[in-house]
Chains A and B, each alone.
Chain A
Amino acid sequence: MRRLSLKELPLEEYYMPGNILCAGCGESLAMRLALKVLGRKTIVVTVPGCASAGLMMGACAVPLLVGPFASGGALAAGVEAGLKAQGRLEGVNVVAFVGDGGTADIGFQSLSSMVERGHDVLYVCLDNEAYMNTGGQRSGTTPLGAATTTTPVGRFLRGKPQHRKNLPLIMMDHGAPYVATASIGYPLDYVNKVLKASRVRGPKYIQVLTPCPVGWGFHESKTVELARLAVDCGIWPLYEVEGGALKITLELKRPKPLEEYLAQQRRFSHLTSVEVEALKASIEREWMELKRRASGGKEARSDV
């Protein structure tokens, strides 16, 4: 499949401006770009969160259904099954935009069973690495050491003490026919993955990094820069899985220092060099696992 170039990006917009989301919102950009390439014949489902607030209050120019927080996968599955039963699914994209909390934690079983049943749905996880709509509580994808309102830096904690949950690989292990990571800092890579996913039958999963100026603590003008830097320093690997084969879509020849990425965010401002090293080691283990899978399992399994 030929890749879309910047010039070929459709001019049509289905994610409307003037909605209530914050200035510099990464999620808004992710939904806008995805809907551009998915086009008019798309039905969106979402669950309570920043995304739904924007979409419900007028941003969505395609059909929209919003359901309970824990039900992202079930919503999408139901819409797909309903259309299919009426012979109306052909040529229609059913897309779920769900945040990381709704995906990794509270809605996980709903997503897992949707993928297991094989519904023809594109599920996009808008990952801002915490429950940002409710003020920034930790989620399953919050990185190690990040300060959130439920993992504050103080007498008892120094940010989140656990490693993040690796959802794309979990979806890969479900046997989903298409899985990818993306970043709004690499918009062409992202839209091409969305486009590719839309042409695959069955459950598709894309996890896109969408920095949150409010929750991460950076200036609203830096959203895209940070999303790019996250990839460049290696904390957010870009890869895709097609038919079970994992391919790293952006090889990092010379990764930028992680410190450069961390220094721009309030949530990491407390980290000591020892803690930064621990985070680096955690990222390194994730990369080893990725490379192992990319090599078709020929490299030794890491301890992840």
Chain B
Amino acid sequence: MVATAAASATGARVFTATSSQGLSYMQEGLYFAAGHRLPVVMAVANRSMGPPWTILAGHDDSIAQRDVGWIQVYCSRPQEILDQVIQAYRVAEDHRVLLPIMVCYEGFATSHCYEAVEVPSQEEVDSFLPPYRPLFKLDVEDPLIITRFVEADWWLGFKKLQDEAMEGAKKVIADVDAEYAKRFGRRCGGLLEAYRCEDAEVAMVTMGNLALTARLIVDEFRGRGVKAGLIRLRFFRPFPREELVKALEGVGSICVVERNCSPGGYGGAVFNELRSALYSTGHRPLVINFLAGMGGRDVTPVELREMMAAAVKALERGGVEREVNWVYGVRRA
């Protein structure tokens, strides 16, 4: 990570990829890239952290890095990953943003998934993505001390600038996706993707490839006359508070299904940030959390159906039986 970010500091466009333990090993390097405002793009094939050792999927590796100052986007399919990587450079290198980006997707479950992918030509990508123009760089003709030691009065101010850049990135992310759609006829989905949410009373919120199965479950419930919807949160950093609240306006009961956990905490990262976003709006839907799909554990349609049913039941009863639910043990097909 440090070598990649250092190359970026010279003004070069860089890319790297990692996963799981490798991501956690480079944590100090993640701060290094973000603190220098270097637009590094990195693919992260999400795998759960050992011990107990595993090589299989889970978002717990990158969620543990949520505070390092990187933009995090979670993809669901190979085509989306490819498109997102191209878009990521436009977002990261935008002078209003200048933040590194992790393009995340489930290890094996997505990273080793075969799917026909449309690869745009070099010319098409070049016309969408102009050469990187760094705001500053290591240059013997223009000497700069890029890394500063700061007095106590200054440190948090620099962090605030990173936070403001994150906030500003939301518009850039949406604009870049819209322009990409115009050029390539495909979009990634912006900050979040809402499916059948317009009149939804019950919604599932998830990230990554679980959303693909969840769509089928939503269709199934719709078929039974339940006003169900799905939100696939794409960007976790910046966290799309307003967009999420808006998409959940009419929803009375929500189940959050996520591939991360915090032993000793109360529920997963998405559950907590979602509830925090809703708290001040006065709109307080019931929220149930399912911590599932870590260590490569499959989350089957049967289980997703039960999770959605739990949200429906909560709405009917007007209360949640158990807010935080760990889904572990032998899977039920």
Query: A residues near B, CB below 8 A?
Result: 40-43, 45, 52-53, 55-58, 60-71, 74-79, 81-83, 85-86, 88, 92, 110
Given the contacts A42-B140, A75-B2, A82 and B147 also touching, CB distance less than 8 Å? no
Cβ-neighbour of A86 out of B11, B36, B144 (below 8 A): B11
Q: Which residue of B lies closest to A20 (CB)?
A: B149
Given the interface contacts A43-B140, A81-B3, does A65 sit within 8 Å of B8 by beta carbon?
no
Task: State whether A58 touches B145 (Cβ < 8 A).
Answer: yes
Asked if B138 lies at the interface with its beta carbon under 8 angstroms from chain A, I say yes
CA distance A68 to B139 in the complex (A): 21
Given contacts A56-B149, A60-B145, A63-B146, contact A78 B140 (CB under 8 A): no
Task: Determine if A85 and B146 form an interchain contact, defined as CB atoms under 8 angstroms apart.
Answer: no
Q: Chain A contacts of B149 at CB under 8 A?
A: 52-53, 56-57
* Contact of B140 with A92 in the complex, beta carbons under 8 Å: yes
Closest to A110 in B: B2
How many residues on the B side are at the interface (Cβ–Cβ under 8 A)? 26
Residues of A within 8 A of B174 (CB): none
Residues of A within 8 A of B139 (CB): 63, 88
When the two chains form their complex, are residues B138 and A79 in contact, meaning their CB atoms are under 8 A apart?
Answer: yes
A82 near B145 with CB under 8 A, answer no
Across-interface contacts of B3 in A (CB, < 8 A): 71, 74-75, 77-78, 81
In this complex, what residue of B is CB-closest to A68? B28
* Residues B1-32 near A (CB distance < 8 A): 2-12, 14, 28-29, 32
Do residues A65 and B9 form an inter-chain contact, with CB atoms below 8 A?
yes
Cβ 8 A contact of B146, one of A42, A65, A74: A65
B residues lining the A interface (CB < 8 Å)? 2-12, 14, 28-29, 32, 36, 138-140, 143-149
Contact A71 B2, beta carbon cutoff 8 Å: yes
Bound complex: CA A66 to CA B138 (Å): 12
Which residue of B5, B28, B143 is within 8 Å of A62 (Cβ)? B143
Given contacts A82-B14, A85-B12, contact A67 B6 (CB under 8 A): yes
Give complex CA distance A69, B28 in Å: 9
Q: Which of B11, B12, B147 contacts A66 (CB 8 A)?
A: B147
Not counting A52-B147, A55-B145, A60-B145, a sample of 20 additional A-B residue pairs whose C-beta atoms are within 8 angstroms of each other reads A40-B140, A43-B10, A45-B6, A52-B149, A53-B149, A63-B139, A63-B144, A64-B145, A65-B9, A67-B5, A67-B6, A67-B29, A68-B29, A75-B2, A75-B3, A78-B3, A78-B7, A79-B9, A79-B10, A85-B7
